[in-house]
Structure 1
Amino acid sequence: MPRPKTAYILLFRGVGGATQLPVAPLREALTEAGFENVATYINSGNAVLRTHLSREKVIATVAKLCEEKFGFTKAIYAPTLEEWDAVIANNPFPDFEEGKHVHAAVLDGIPTKEAIEALRKHAVEGEAIELVDNVVYLHTPFGLGTSKLGEKFDKGIGVPNTARNWNTVLKLQELAKKAAG
């Protein structure tokens, strides 16, 4: 009996600047590879799809396709819709409506308490960082790009990760719900 179909959110690490992953060709390539209900969101490495494949097979298939068609070789994360719902439910900063100032970073491993504490020392008043399960949440009310906490985050956290602002997190949930059917 085949596995039930699952909606996955694909998060491509490091898209932007010199690394591009064009959304229309990506959408076409994923559909041609047999994935269902494929959608992409903005040109920064986000897609949703539905499949009966396991997460490992989804990542392997998408990684091979992206390398062959686009020369993209960076990490790909594939949380399920249910896991993404938990990312949203676990947000420790629900009072901040400003979606571009709250970020969720999906981690490939759990950082040390020391890494979190070292990053926390870079936060100015009003900024915060919290770890919940395998996601770090950042609140940077003055903007991530101007934040010392934001600047130090990627190297300082000590584990591979990919982050999205809260507006994108919510949009990806909406797209994944549609993909789930």
Structure 2
Amino acid sequence: MSTQRQIALLRGVNVGRAKRIAMADLRKVLGDLGFSGVRTLLNSGNAVFDCPAADAAQSALRIEEALVLKLGVPARVTVLDAHQLAEVVAANPLLDLASDPARLMVAVLSNPADRTRLEALAHQQWQPEAFALGQWAAYIWCSDGVLASRAAAAMGNLLGDAVTTRNWSTITKLHSLAMET
């Protein structure tokens, strides 16, 4: 049976005091689900793993259920396969504008249909910020930081917890981890 490399992004984990998960526990939960080669990045719910070729949405649902059943932590999970993550990295149209990778945010869509809901934001003027859409993600240049970003706030108002965001540094580290053999 062929395997597929997937990347799980847990929303809101280890941010503040709520939804605390040790990365060792996350690795165990993913291993117990039958995923292999499980590696985590940072302490914020980012995991790379191999699994039998499976739909990313199905993997996300299985992980969400296991987090509640085994750890008592409800969290939205977005899963991309390694090829989708590579496309997210390659398609970033804001690299020339962004001067700080910590302020360049990548909002990975849980449901690709949500992209349609964000199209109007891509046509608005956000200077000095910027907002752009790719196939699997929205890209937001938060020139004055995420908390001050009008574009990030507008996206959050539209999608709520249906999207999870990582900065460019984290996305590129995940991509490197996913490309390792």
- Scaled by the length of structure 1, the TM-score of the pair is 0.85
| Distance in 2 between residues matched to 1:115 and 1:159, nearest whole Å | 19
User: Given that residues 90 and 132 in structure 1 are in contact (C-alpha distance below 8 angstroms), is that contact kept between their aligned partners in structure 2?
Assistant: yes
| Distance in 1 between residues matched to 2:23 and 2:87, nearest whole Å | 26
Amino acid at match of 2:46: N
Give SS of 2:116's match. Answer: coil
Aligned to 1:166: 168
Alignment of 1:56-75 (within 5 A): 56-75=57-76
Deviates more, 1:73-82 or 1:57-66: 57-66
Q: CA deviation at 1:33?
A: 2.9
User: Given that residues 130 and 138 in structure 1 are in contact (C-alpha distance below 8 angstroms), is that contact kept between their aligned partners in structure 2?
Assistant: yes
Q: CA deviation at 1:158?
A: 6.8
Structure 1 unmatched ranges of 5 or more: none
Shift of the 46–114 alpha-carbon distance from structure 1 to 2, 3 Å rule, reads: closer
Deviates more, 1:165-174 or 1:141-150: 141-150
Deviations 1:104-129 (A, max 9, x none): 111222233664168x45x3x32100
Aligned to 1:78: 79
Aligned to 2:11: 13
Amino acid at match of 2:77: I
Aligned to 2:149: 147
Higher RCO by CA contacts (8 Å cutoff, separation 6 or greater): 1
Alignment pair present for 1:111 and 2:116: yes
Shift of the 6–165 alpha-carbon distance from structure 1 to 2, 3 Å rule, reads: same
User: Given that residues 6 and 49 in structure 2 are in contact (C-alpha distance below 8 angstroms), is that contact kept between their aligned partners in structure 1?
Assistant: yes
Question: Which of 169, 172, 176 lines up with 2:178 in the alignment?
Answer: 176
Shift of the 153–80 alpha-carbon distance from structure 1 to 2, 3 Å rule, reads: same
| Distance in 2 between residues matched to 1:20 and 1:165, nearest whole Å | 20
Structure 2 unmatched ranges of 5 or more: none
User: Given that residues 9 and 81 in structure 1 are in contact (C-alpha distance below 8 angstroms), is that contact kept between their aligned partners in structure 2?
Assistant: yes
Give SS of 1:6's match. Answer: strand
Deviations 1:57-77 (A, max 9, x none): 422332222111222223211
Identical-pair percentage = 28
Shift of the 63–77 alpha-carbon distance from structure 1 to 2, 3 Å rule, reads: same
User: Given that residues 111 and 158 in structure 1 are in contact (C-alpha distance below 8 angstroms), is that contact kept between their aligned partners in structure 2?
Assistant: no
